[in-house]
Amino acid sequence: MLSKDGMEKDNTKKFNELFSELEHYDEDKQRKKIGETNEIIDGMNEEEFRSIFKSELFDKIDKMIEEKKMSIENTILLLKHAGCCVKLKNVFIPSFGKSSLANRFEKMIIKEEKKKEEKNEKLFVDLCECYLLFHFDFSSELISICVPCLLKAASKKEESEENQKEVEMALLALSEMGYCEMKQEQFLKEITEIIKHQQKHRNLTHLAYQSAWLFFMYRFFKDRNLEDTIANELHFGREAARELEELARCIGWKKKGGEETNKEEAKEKLTLMRWLETCAMYFLDCRLWNEEFIGLFCRIVQIYRAAKDNCRGICILCTYPLRNAVENRVVRVEDLLKGGAVEAVLEEMQRPTLKKVMTNECLQFLTNVSERLNEKMDNKMEEAKRKATKRKVFEKLEEGGYEDTITTFHELFHLLKMIIFDSYELSEDVSDYLVNV
């Protein structure tokens, strides 16, 4: 049986061998071989992607196109699949933008967009998708071309499996545009309609819907005027909670590391992780309170509890939106309490083993809860609410038997605050002490 390192080397070797043979085949056989190559790509990890998808590979592909040893259609078949895997596995590939292939794609996109007649719409969409999936620095000209093109492709209403895949790819590519600047008229009407249509008909895949929201969320960070649309018109809290609930049902939480997971389950797991990251982004800077937050916190806590034994990576992701929410003064501590977030973090602090990352996240959460519960309000009604919430928190602590942990925590409060917020490394001794008090 191959070790992990052996499997990585084997994947890299197989890919390089198959790729080196491609230029010797005719177009049909080359397409079949690319199918085999894509199966290898499915099993790659971050290190393998980085070792293979370098500027040399992209330059080699460009040369093969120039010498007519690979068609643009077969190039797209390879790159779209690889780009999708790269983004789902959150791998950053900076080398594409420096390659001759990127220059070729840019010229082809601009040329295709300028055509008045005989425009190849499929090729146009494919080129835009490949370009956005691998690039990370977009000019205003490319933004003005690619965004309308892909939003149009993502707006198709047919419910066939083939159309679902096309829409999914278009939205995934759009979601990777990050924080780049664009005007509302370039995206708002279309992306809002896509999200509303999904809420009514539920015809998008989970990944496609998450990608639509992620694209919109990046725009929100550049334009605060979008928040009312996000929170109150499109109901982000409600929709994120629904998606997390549905995705959680698709995952075998009791599987231990090394147990086989089918492709569909692996994809849904990665989509769930993307949703958690999107929620963390939103709570980082939202300014409008919404009652739907409580349901969303409930779902995040449920996922944390399902994942805590065998999916520790997901557990860590669950702490990010909770930590950001408690740091955000718009989100009420009472909402986090009702959603079970306070209790879940305290449960985590009681685990027999506690890693540095989780210790840090939990302490930041508890630090902010403690500070907020001790902030007196000038408004009498708000002050009464604060006291009531504080009383509920301490009742919850007593029910769970967490008094000793919290007493210890408060004794170390000043030291821990300096450690966390001055970005010093947490000592393993602190972690051991907290879980054994």
Rg of the chain in Å (alpha carbons): 24
Q: Residue 26 in 3-state DSSP?
A: coil
pLDDT tens across 101-136, in order?
A: 999 999 999 999 999 888 899 999 999 999 999 998
More confident residue, 404 or 427: 404
pLDDT tens across 22-57, in order?
A: 999 999 999 999 999 999 999 999 999 999 999 999
Are 22 and 34 in contact, with CB atoms under 8 Å apart?
yes
Six token digits for residue 361:
């996240």
| pLDDT tops 70 at residue 268 | yes
- Angle at which helix 236-249 crosses helix 206-222, to 10 degrees, equals 150
Q: Name the band, by pLDDT with cuts 50, 70 and 90, for residue 437.
A: very low
| Segment (H or E) for 281 | helix 263-285
Burial 371-404 (b: 16+ CB within 10 A, else e): ebbeeeeeeeeeeeebeebbebbeeebeeeebee
Cα dihedral value 338, 341, 343, 346, nearest 10: -160
Mention every residue, 6+ apart, whose C-beta is less than 8 A from residue 185.
Answer: none
| Average pLDDT of every residue of the chain | 87
| pLDDT tops 80 at residue 396 | no
Residue 424 burial by Cβ neighbours in a 10 Å radius (0-12, 13-18, 19+) = exposed
Residue 160 burial by Cβ neighbours in a 10 Å radius (0-12, 13-18, 19+) = exposed
Which range has the worst mean pLDDT, 215-224, 233-242, 310-319, 405-414?
A: 405-414
Q: Name the band, by pLDDT with cuts 50, 70 and 90, for residue 407.
A: low
Mention every residue, 6+ apart, whose C-beta is less than 8 A from residue 199.
Answer: 234, 235, 239
> DSSP label at 137?
-
**pLDDT on residue 259:** 67
Mention every residue, 6+ apart, whose C-beta is less than 8 A from residue 277.
Answer: 317, 320
pTM: 0.89
> Mean of the pLDDT values across residues 151-164?
92
- Angle (CA) 332-334-336 rounded to 5° is 80
Which range has the worst mean pLDDT, 10-14, 197-201, 219-223, 372-376?
A: 372-376
Q: Name the band, by pLDDT with cuts 50, 70 and 90, for residue 10.
A: confident
Q: Which residue has tokens 């919430």?
A: 389
| pLDDT tops 80 at residue 8 | no
Query: CA nearest 353: which of 318, 386, 287, 309?
Result: 309
In the chain, count H helices and then E strands: 23, 0
